[in-house]
Amino acid sequence: MKTNMLLVIAFVSTINSPAVAQASQVANDKLSYPYRILTIEPGVGIHTNFGTDILITNLVQWNPRKHLSLASHSSFNINNVTQRNFNFIKTNYNYSLNQKFGAGATIYRKKSSHSFLMMVGIKYTAFQESLENPDLEKVTTTIAAVSPDYGLMYSMKRGKKKYFFSYRMYVPLSPWPAKGTDMNYLDGNLNNVALELALGIKLK
């Protein structure tokens, strides 16, 4: 009789163990931050050069694996919100277009996820000013240039549903240390750090 009782207890324990483990896994999944495969995150931002510009940006992030992230970041930069029109000098336009691609890792916490990405791309800058003095002939200066754009991006996502909030910070690696290790180059980096706020949408 005692042997039969032990067999029954062992059998019941064998049946219940997977159920308990599954229930525990479900509970942990509900507590942890969701794993999203594909997201799109349009946003706005500024550079840290006294906030004289506005960035209209978008990040598309694909996570083929939970901790592996691939990303595409696009931005349209209005480089001087208060266009100069002083002393007969008028700024006609001053903007940049940026496109970067990158890869990195994502870690998950209970209420947020954090992505660290190495980004590489190009930057197109266009600028035009005119001297419009009524006593002189009009003179216009136009500059258009393409340059490399590379740096480190941090992206934090907050919100567990289809729509969520995200914060991004992009730190360029030029002119320091790409063009030189002189600490004076750091001023160029610090003036071009981008801070962005975005509304994210889960696509998959």
pLDDT 10s digit of each residue in the chain, 204 long? 445 444 444 434 544 444 444 444 444 445 578 899 999 999 999 988 766 789 999 999 999 999 999 999 999 998 876 777 778 888 888 899 999 999 999 999 989 999 999 999 999 999 998 988 888 888 899 999 999 999 999 999 999 899 999 999 999 998 777 777 777 777 778 888 999 999 999 998
Residue 119's pLDDT is what? 97
Residue 22's pLDDT is what? 47
Task: State how far the alpha carbon of 21 is from the alpha carbons of 27, 28, 80, in Å.
Answer: 10, 11, 58
Q: Are 59 and 132 within one domain?
A: yes
8 Å CB contact between 168 and 162: no
Q: Are 49 and 145 within one domain?
A: yes
Residue 27's pLDDT is what? 42
Q: Are 132 and 41 within one domain?
A: yes
Residue 52's pLDDT is what? 76
Q: Are 12 and 76 within one domain?
A: no
- Which residues, 6+ apart, have CB-to-CB distance to 178 below 8 Å? 150
Q: Are 119 and 75 within one domain?
A: yes
Q: Are 2 and 39 within one domain?
A: no
Q: Are 89 and 141 within one domain?
A: yes
Residue 189's pLDDT is what? 81
pTM above 0.85, yes or no: no
Q: Are 79 and 97 within one domain?
A: yes
Q: Are 196 and 135 within one domain?
A: yes
Residue-by-residue DSSP string for 99-154: EEEEEEEEEE-SSEEEEEEEEEEEEEEEEEEEE--TTS--EEEEEEEEEEEEEEEE
Q: Are 135 and 146 within one domain?
A: yes
**Two tokens at 133?**
């003095």
In a 3-state reduction of DSSP, which class is residue 38? strand
Q: Are 12 and 44 within one domain?
A: no
Angle (CA) 69 40 32, round 5°: 60
H-helix segments, the chain: 2-31, 186-191
Number of independent structural domains in the chain: 2
Domain ranges, residue 189: 34-202
CATH for 107: 2.40.160.20
Distance CA 177, CA 189 (A): 9
Q: Are 66 and 146 within one domain?
A: yes
